[in-house]
Chain A
Amino acid sequence: MIFKMAVNNVKKSFKDYTIYFLTLTFSVCIFYSFNSIHAQSAVLEVGNSSISYMQTLTNLISIASVFISVILTGLIVYANNFIIKRRTKELGIYMTLGMGKRKMSKIFIYETLIIGGLSLGVGLVLGIIASQVLSVMTANLFALNMTRFKFVLSIDAIIKTIVYFGIAFVIVMGLNQVIISKYKLIDMLNASKKNEDTKVKNPVISVSLFLVSVVLIGLSYNLVLDVGLSTREPLFLLSVVLGILGTGLCFYSLAGFLILMIQKTKKVYLKNLNIFTLRQVNNKINTNFMSISIICLMLFVTIVSLFTMFSYKANLDESIKGNTSFDASAVLYTSQTNEEGDSIEEALDQLDFSFNDSEEYLFFNEYALDLQVADIVSPYIDASNVHELENRADDRNIKVFTLTDYNAAMQLKDEQTVTLRDNELLVATNYGDKIESINRFMENEDAISINNQPYTIKNDDLIMDNIENQPHNTDFFYLVVPDDLSEELTLSGTRVNVDFGDDNREESEAKFAALFDCFNTIGGEFTQEVGFIQGFTREQATAILYGNSAVIIFLGLYVGIVVLISSAAVLGVQQLSEANTSLNRYTTLKKIGVTEKMINRTIFIQTLIAFMFPFVLAVIHSIIGIIVTSDAFATRNKNVIGSSSLMISIVIALIYGGYFYVTYVGYKNIVKNS
């Protein structure tokens, strides 16, 4: 009987529950899909090298999930409180009808269970769908092949989701009991009558405060644009503090400012329900300015970090190009041999390392010029690009390879060979799209002199392929010179590049990966014997290059989406509470002949403003933030920002827009059914 009543209640007030339901469902969906990452690796061709990154990611997500479940529980409690408040009158009526508190508690427990179970179910279904999308993304981020699409279902993640949200529901139920037991009948019956105190502020003070806030924000922008992203710089901290203060002050005074401004433009002020809308917004912002400011700042941090991560990733994709061309490659620098004059070939011999029949390999030499990149391009550096070369590997001597070796390497990866005349050379580098002076150099110079002998640059466009696998220093610059010249050059290292062939790829991969790992781990066992061989298989290089960024992006997305949902949900619940407390006003409006259309319009505008105000300021903050971070991370490819902003905009529009719509409809319903 009580259960039936609870079912009826949920049915009856389902519209009130929408936002609660939506928040729960979203939360469950996100929680499940990110926690099922581990299961997703099962359908991807994850090599050994990527597995460790996957493991790190899984662990980090588990840790983050603890924090996130705390946030989500808070959110659920918040949304639940709104529902209870909305229904205090109903509760009061139950009580006057003689229903005991115990019975009422039971009804609420059942209601929570019904809604919780429902949203858990729907959320899990959505989460399972979303995790399929996520696994495509995982493949993409880790640069893995998805040979066949397979349905991913993680029982572990399902259990975890149920446990975490089960706990959240228990907490909500417990709090409901506390709230119910504390309520007094008289409060319940009068609940809907209470009107929040309307705070009226002196308009002159509002305007001055608003101007101050604009100045503070402006100062903060100025400072941060000057000092950049240097978190230890006191000026940077000052800019953050000013920004936070400015934001808070801005929302504190915004409404008063707007009222004064709009009152001056009578055409807007005295039109339709604008007076009412303005006062509603004023009232709302004044009572909620703190939370609005916090939401604005959270949105700002989310947008900037999502952006930065995506552009970082896109940046990475750019710089990776040409750095994973061989199945395996390794180098033994002359400075790192155990015995002088040892070549990599001899070192491998000493280690009893042998090549299979299916493997093709090429031993070759690397020479160094007594010249650095900076020396070559320095005439083309001007005020606009003085910093270009900073932080680049420009302090090392330029690498040189002979034509024969270069062609052999080209053949190894089945590419066209080239010819050079005696006085010609080739320039290979990926600096071109980040260092403008290189391009100017290429345009203006025909030759580079080596040992006082000019060599004509044969290629018009820069060669963009590296001659080794290089996941760490992805910037490369080398020259290809005629064979004869090698006698005049200093040997800097010996190299081997390998093609695994078609047959035993997996075996070869495992063999080389094991070899390189022995050196890559600190104090690796072979180092003492033969010196330090640095090598990477293609898979290792890819895993290193993509692994870290993938981990960061996943975590960022996870946290970012949760923050977005939380912000939107809080805004939505606030707005619906506002609808509740303003009911009397709408009744009055209806009585004096305001049409339903006009009422819907003012609700739309109010909701839009509630969602847009914090968002717009967050976007403005973010523009500055993105300028600063892309400076810091040296975003070289400007298209990157375009493509990532599209992705982020879609995510934000879906979540934020969804909440906006649900809130608008919910608000309309509350007013309509009053």
Chain B
Amino acid sequence: MRNVLTIAGKELRSYFTSPVGWVVMGFFALLFGYFFFAHLDFFVRRSMQSAMGGGPVNVNQDMIRGVFSNATIIILFLMPMITMRTYAEEKRSGTIELLLTSPVTDIEIVLGKFFGAVGFFVALMGVTMLDMSLVFIFGNPEVMPVLTAYLGLLLMGGAFISLGLFVSSTTKNQVVAGAATFVVLLLLWVISWVGSSFGPNTAAVLSYLSITEHFDDFSKGVIDTKHALYYLSVTAFGLFLTVKSVDTERWRG
């Protein structure tokens, strides 16, 4: 466990000592801020209309949900930049030789890298809380749906990270790792789109596999174990693949 923490600490640190970490954080803050204020602006106008006789508005339903839904898209685009270096860079620079000859297990290394990236992801979420706090200062939204949405983001982020880790462990080239991770995540994102052309059973399976389908309930304030389980099993699967891949790479040398 100590080893996992040591490696996670080193990983987390590396995000803040390298330009990539700051660039990701900057882009994320920028994009999230943009969507946040776009939704805010839209919501303010709708509330005015509503005051003049439109239907009732709800800040959770009509604004915050939209913001979180957009956040998942930003995360989809930026996540490859978070995970692409994890293994690829160590393999390229040869530092992997230090890790693999230290008295730690492969699983500890994989978990260390995973939690390091999760730590950075949590820091990104922290940035969004700055924007979100504005809504709480000037409005009166329900807390529960916001918290569950964050939980959903965290679970989804974990799933993305484990897949990104796996892709990164298969190559020495971080650009390749980043691009391939993006493709994998995007496919998981849109997999349900083709469902209807394959008949109801396949559609159900594909829809179950789709990353987005599982996020909706969280942003509505509902914690459904089915969805949590989905993200957790994708995460576990990604980590399992990573451990296997590290082992295979070992054999190849």
Do A and B share a complex?
no
